[in-house]
Structure 1
Amino acid sequence: MAISFFASTETGAAARGRSYGAARRAAVRANVDGYFALFTAAGGTPTAVQTWAERALDRTAAWAPELAEETAGVAAGAGLETWQVAALNARTEILAALSATGRGECSTAVVTRGPSPHTIQTWDWHEHLHRAPVVWEFETHHTVRTFTENGVLAKIGVNSAGLGIHFNLLRHTSDGSDIGVPVHVIARRILGEATTLSEAVEIARSARTSASTVITVVTAAEAASLEICPDGVGVVWPGADGVLVHTNHFLDPALAEGERLGTEQPDTYARLDHLRAQADALAHAADPTARAAALLSHGPSAAPVCAHPDPDEPITERWETLATICLDISASRLLVHQGRLCGVGPATWQCF
């Protein structure tokens, strides 16, 4: 099943959002339904979700007004209330406010040595949201191509300035219900505005957040993982071998004191150990299929880098590797395989 692609031609935020929402109307509405089912299963009431979504939109409007306008445009185009699309963009914050648990998502590896960095990550998420992904191309300060979810302003991606990002979930004891700027909105500003790692750090540190994530920023010159949480932003650098790996727990020593997900779901540590053990293989795997093979591992006897859902679990616990994404920084391209990591082959990649 192919990932959908949509290219916006509008340069104004509101107009871009409206055209995107209209073109992707059915998919955005389906994603709203999927996430509201998840919020309900995690204990969220419609009133609470709307309140949190409206607060997230207010925070967005204060921090990045044009992105609040774009959110409203998407909603108008899709025939939805603005707060419903705001809830999609604040899904990480709403789930943090609900103290939702789960195995977490994503394993990321970046090799910085050589003429051009090569990267890979899995996107592990809830199985019932397997139709959420879309690749969206648009113009802001740069041309941006982002692998995201229908209605969500950005996630993993590259821009024409030669900067790309990967995206992993984190959880921290400082996460809470006083909703801040959504982490997906932070990712969008980094892709839309940043040309260097230092600019990306500055954008991340300017936002007041209420939930945690790690955005791994890659340019031709350098790479680092920005660990974001309400207590601050930590910067994690590659090792001496030029390999930077991340799963779903904090590596910054100060922020790691508030680690939450790893204490509940320790397989994040096993996955990181597996990625570190594969450092040499990753360093020599310039081909995306070879990188995927280096990452591949299944639980329960080994680190579960490739996740398969258990149909007997509730929807909050049915985790699946829904996609694998590589960034081609030099060409500002995304390579995307839809489906589990164990299904990757030379012919399964889509290039955007």
Structure 2
Amino acid sequence: MTFPTFTSSQSEPHARGEELGSRRRAAIAANLDGYTDLFKVAGATPEQVRAWGEQALDRSAAWAPRLADEMAGIASGAGLEPWQVAVVNARTEILAAVHASGEGECSTSVVLPGPGLPPRTVQTWDWHDHLRDAPMLWELEPRPGHVVRTFTEAGALAKIGVNTAGLGVHFNILRHDADTAEVGVPVHLIARRILEEAATVEEAAAIARSATVSASTVITAVTGAGAGAIEISPAGVAVVPPDSGGVLMHCNHFLDPALAEGERHATKRPGTYARLRHLRDHAVELGGDDLTERALAMLSHEPQGAPVCAHPDLSQPIDQRWETLATIALDLTAGRLRVHQGGPCRVTEATWQTF
């Protein structure tokens, strides 16, 4: 079982988007339909969703015109309106606007083993099980010689990824009291600009600080020289460094003390604390050079008190069903991703997809 892949041949943003939209047309439409269903169950009206999509498009055009143009190209190729593609890219912002919540979400581990050794990273990507067909792997070259490879969703400009400048990003959702329904720059576009433009943690953080956001997330930037969990919210941006042993773990609550005062996610999803404890308790294994062993060190199910590897409760509505849809690591030395379709409980040496 592998995720679909796509390599762009176009370098101009609108043309690149149109190529992707035409080649992945059915998947993008299905992803939009899946989010439309999710937003409806979460309490959003169609009129609200369209308005938020249009706001996201406007904010994106002001902050990153090339990325707004690329979204318009995707829409053209997929036979959609630009605001509909913006909705897919702004799904975090829309869910924050309707105060969506539920027990689930991602866990990220980064260990810096020491000078001359590459970072050891792995994360689970948890999302709603009815969207399990949304992920794809996308390679693009936004400028000559600079290649971006990203694990993302059909129609979204980026998520988890690496670039050939030696930087990669992991991605976890957060919630803050400052989150607002006045939709700002989508956090998925921040991840894309970081992958396009940054080679250091400091450059990645500067890009995050330049965006006016309405929803919260953490983008953990990793290079051969270091790492930082860039916590982003309307209340501000903070960079959480690794500890003295080079360990940097993140789940779905703020770690920066000032931003943590406005924490909203963990009050409804206390499992995030148990997941973080599990990661920290297994820091030695998570710092090993064998990727399969790192993934297996993540393994923990709900009965063990830390649902790092999630499985959906089919008795629940779609907005309360969570599944670990992917397990992902960054190979910064080679500028590639290692991806397993599903959670750590199904990982073997043979299930890794290299991209």
How does the TM-score come out when normalised to structure 1?
0.99
Distance 1:138 1:182 in 2: 20
Deviation at 1:346, TM superposition (A): 0.3
Indicate the SS of the match to 1:226: strand
Whether 1:317 aligns to 2:320 is: yes
In structure 1, distance between residues paired with 2:294 and 2:173: 21
Give how far 1:104 is off: 4.0
Asked if residue 155 in structure 1 is aligned to residue 154 in structure 2, the reply is no
Secondary structure of the residue aligned to 1:347 is helix
Alignment-derived partner of residue 199 in structure 1 = 203
- Give unpaired runs (5+ residues) of structure 1: none
4+ residue runs over 3 A deviation:
none
Amino acid at match of 1:263: T
CA distance in 2, matches of 1:69, 1:103: 35
Are positions 1:305 and 2:317 aligned together? Answer: no
1:36-55 to 2 correspondences below 5 Å: 36-55=36-55
1:73 is aligned to 73
Shift in Å at residue 245 of structure 1? 0.3
Distance (whole Å) between structure 2 residues aligned to residue 162 and residue 263 of structure 1: 36
Letter in 2 for 1:23: R
1:296 matched to which residue of 2? 299
After the TM superposition, which of the residue ranges 94-103 and 159-168 deviates more from structure 2? 94-103
> Does the 8 Å contact 1:212/1:229 carry over to 2?
yes
Q: Which of 115, 118, 129 matches 1:116?
A: 118
Cα distance between partner residues in 2 of 1:301 and 1:286: 26
List runs of 5+ in structure 2 lacking aligned partners: none
**CA-CA distance at 1:300 after TM superposition:** 2.9
Partner of 1:134: 136
CA distance in 1, matches of 2:88, 2:230: 22
Cα shift at 1:240: 1.1
Within 1, Cα distance between the matches of 2:133 and 2:27?
8
Alignment-mate amino acid for residue 314 of structure 1: P
Shift of 1:195: 1.1
> For 1:114-135, what per-residue CA distance to the aligned partner results, in whole angstroms no more than 9, with x for missing partners?
3111100000000000001000
Per-residue deviation, 1:310: 0.3
Q: 2:181 aligns with which of 177, 187, 212?
A: 177
Q: CA deviation at 1:102?
A: 1.1
The answer (yes or no) to whether the contact 1:104–1:169 under 8 Å persists in 2 is no
Per the alignment, residue 16 of structure 1 pairs with 16
Task: Give the counterpart letter for 1:132 in structure 2.
Answer: A
Residue of structure 1 in register with 2:339 after alignment:
336
Between the aligned partners of 1:186 and 1:209, the Cα distance in structure 2 is 10
Aligned to 2:11, what secondary structure does the other structure show?
coil
The percentage of aligned residue pairs carrying the same residue is: 63
1:340 to partner: Cα distance: 2.0
2:276: which partner in 1? 272
Please say if 1:212 is aligned against 2:216.
yes
Q: Aligned letter for 1:288?
A: L
SS of equivalent residue, structure 1 residue 140 = strand
Q: For residues 165 and 86 of structure 1, what CA distance do their matches in structure 2 show?
A: 22
The one-letter code of the counterpart of 2:198 is A
- Once residues 104 and 236 of structure 2 are traced to their aligned partners in structure 1, the CA distance between those partners, rounded to angstroms, is 21
Q: Deviations over 1:238-282 (max 9, x none)?
A: 111111100000000000000001111110000001101111111
Offset from partner CA, 1:274-321 (integer Å, 9 cap, x none): 1011111112x2111000111110113321100010000000011000
Query: How far apart, in 2, do the equivalents of 1:90 and 1:104 lie?
Result: 19
Q: Work out the CA distance in 2 between the residues paired with 1:216 and 1:229.
A: 14
- 1:88 partner letter: V
1:77 alignment partner, SS class: helix
Task: Return the letter of the residue paired with 2:67.
Answer: L
1:78 partner amino acid: A
Q: What letter is aligned with 1:174? A: A
CA contact (8 A) 1:133 1:149 kept: yes
d(CA) in 2 for partners of 1:266, 1:204:
27
CA contact (8 A) 2:135 2:153 kept: yes
Aligned to 2:90: 90
**CA-to-partner distance for each residue in 1:159-199, whole Å, 9 max, x for gaps?**
01000000001000000101110000000000011111111
1:347 is aligned to 2:350 = yes
Quick check: 2:104–2:310 contact (8 Å CA) kept in 1? no
TM-score (norm: length of structure 2): 0.98
Q: What SS does structure 1 have at the residue aligned with 2:303?
A: coil
Kept in 2: contact 1:104–1:170 (CA 8 A): no
CA RMSD for the aligned pairs? 0.7
Note if contact 1:104-1:261 (Cα within 8 Å) is conserved in structure 2.
no
Partner of 1:61: 61
